[in-house]
Amino acid sequence: MVEPLQIASPGPGLHEITDKVGAVVRQAGVLEGVCTVFVRHTSASLTIQENADPSARHDLERWLERLVPRDDPHFTHVHEGLDDMPSHIKAALTSVSLSIPVMEGRLVLGTWQGIYLWEHRDAPKMREVVVHVGP
Amino acid sequence: MVEPLQIASPGPGLHEITDKVGAVVRQAGVLEGVCTVFVRHTSASLTIQENADPSARHDLERWLERLVPRDDPHFTHVHEGLDDMPSHIKAALTSVSLSIPVMEGRLVLGTWQGIYLWEHRDAPKMREVVVHVGP
Amino acid sequence: MVEPLQIASPGPGLHEITDKVGAVVRQAGVLEGVCTVFVRHTSASLTIQENADPSARHDLERWLERLVPRDDPHFTHVHEGLDDMPSHIKAALTSVSLSIPVMEGRLVLGTWQGIYLWEHRDAPKMREVVVHVGP
């Protein structure tokens, strides 16, 4: 089963999509298999991070912001705005796809793991994430 | 076939799990397919690295340690210890899942490739890695 | 279906392999499934990046080159050349495998997404990428 999901991204940051992905897995009815999550963009990415304490995600975002500052004088790809090139770099350093085993009809996520769309652009956007569940 | 593996992690570093993953592949008896490896934690991760010269893994660890120092004054997520927030960042920069094709019943790893659990926390821990082998 | 691809890498940089991977998907004749792309090396990696404006890939390479300089005085793994240890680090920070859903017989890549072999070594090399397409 393949299901494209539309995710409204209000702006930069980690937006949790665990429930949306889990709903596709339930709908697929696969008891044992793999769930593949794929983002169809190069300026947003995917990550699995702690879903309990929001301070962990806050620090993670701030740290990556500092590692890839937007006013880098070496950037030449700047015609789409100063937040564009850092977005591509942040996407390359994180994940475009995740593969999560399914056991007894459920994602085998750990207790503290949540699935996140990581938006790197400033403007609100509609993002597409494709979820596949197979044997 | 889905198999949860318990990995005893003595402390920070790259702990090889190639043999354990390979054993699941053999047991699955799948001649052609994909092996998915997934770590159920957000402060440990997975990587495929050179399995020959230990100095490559040593330098890799030291480099990442320097990139993500634990005494970062900007961290707010510090109540679980100074090694906690750097662990989440290191996990986000490496991999939570790996997908390795299977051919003729074996992982198609290159000659110098080994699969590693990358522990980022200081304390010894029992970590869970889930291995799926499918067509 | 599993297909090993030989990719001639002329030197450092992002070499597009989207067409080669797409050809395997067409040949496999799978209408709905997942395509797994895996690189059998620890000094080259995979990434999905913008395929339109070459300046984005140029900036991405230059940025990573600066993050992982080859003359790092802390490196001990130097007997294969100064470009060797940075290659392993760059590979660890990017991807060894990609999982791309297949819908209606085609990769669900976004409009601006291309699949790239990212060569990190200086010398021309023949690299092997294994492509699996399954249900």
Please provide residue C97's backbone torsions phi and psi, each rounded to the nearest 5 degrees: -140, 150
Average pLDDT, chain B: 97
pTM score, whole prediction:
0.98
Complex-level ipTM: 0.97
CA separation, residue A45 to residues A12, A117, C79, C135 (Å): 11, 6, 36, 24
Contact residues on chain B for A33, CB-CB shorter than 8 A? 132, 134
- Give chain C's count of helices (H) and strands (E): 3, 8
Check residue C88 and give its pLDDT.
98
Number of structural domains, chain B?
1
For residue A114, name the pLDDT band (cuts at 50, 70, 90): very high
For residue A49, name the pLDDT band (cuts at 50, 70, 90): very high
Mean pLDDT along residues C111-128: 97
Residues in chain C: 135
User: Does residue C126 contact residue A126 with C-beta atoms inside 8 Å?
Assistant: no
Alpha carbons C118 and C116: distance in angstroms, whole number: 6
User: Does residue A110 contact residue B40 with C-beta atoms inside 8 Å?
Assistant: yes
Residues in chain A: 135
CA separation, residue B25 to residues A25, A70, B108, C2 (Å): 24, 45, 11, 16
CB-CB under 8 Å, B85 with A56 = yes
Check residue B72 and give its pLDDT.
95
Check residue A116 and give its pLDDT.
98
Per-residue three-class SS string for B91-109: HHHCECEEEEEEECCEECC
Residue of chain C minimizing CA distance to B118: C92
Domain, as residue range, for A122: 2-134
Instruction: State the maximum Cα–Cα separation within chain A, in Å, rounded to a whole number.
Output: 52
Which of C33, C93, C110 is closest, CB to CB, to A134?
C33
Check residue A43 and give its pLDDT.
97
For residue C40, name the pLDDT band (cuts at 50, 70, 90): very high
Best residue in A2, A25, A95, A129 for a mutation probing chain C (most C CBs within 10 Å): A2
Check residue B75 and give its pLDDT.
97
CB-CB under 8 Å, B38 with A113 = no
CA separation, residue C6 to residues A30, A85, C128 (Å): 35, 31, 5
Mean pLDDT along residues A85-89: 98
B54-73 per-position pLDDT tens digit? 999 999 999 999 999 999 99
Mean pLDDT along residues A26-54: 97
Structure tokens at C31: 């209408």
Residue scoring higher pLDDT (B53 or C98): C98
Mean pLDDT along residues C69-76: 95
The number of angstroms, rounded, from the C-alpha of C67 to the middle of its chain's C-alpha atoms is 19
Alpha carbons B133 and B44: distance in angstroms, whole number: 22
Check residue B57 and give its pLDDT.
96
Q: Read off the CATH number of the domain in which B9 is found.
A: 2.60.120.460
For residue A24, name the pLDDT band (cuts at 50, 70, 90): very high
Distance (Å) from the alpha carbon of A9 to chain B's nearest alpha carbon: 20
Structure tokens at C17: 């392999």
For residue B35, name the pLDDT band (cuts at 50, 70, 90): very high
Check residue C9 and give its pLDDT.
95
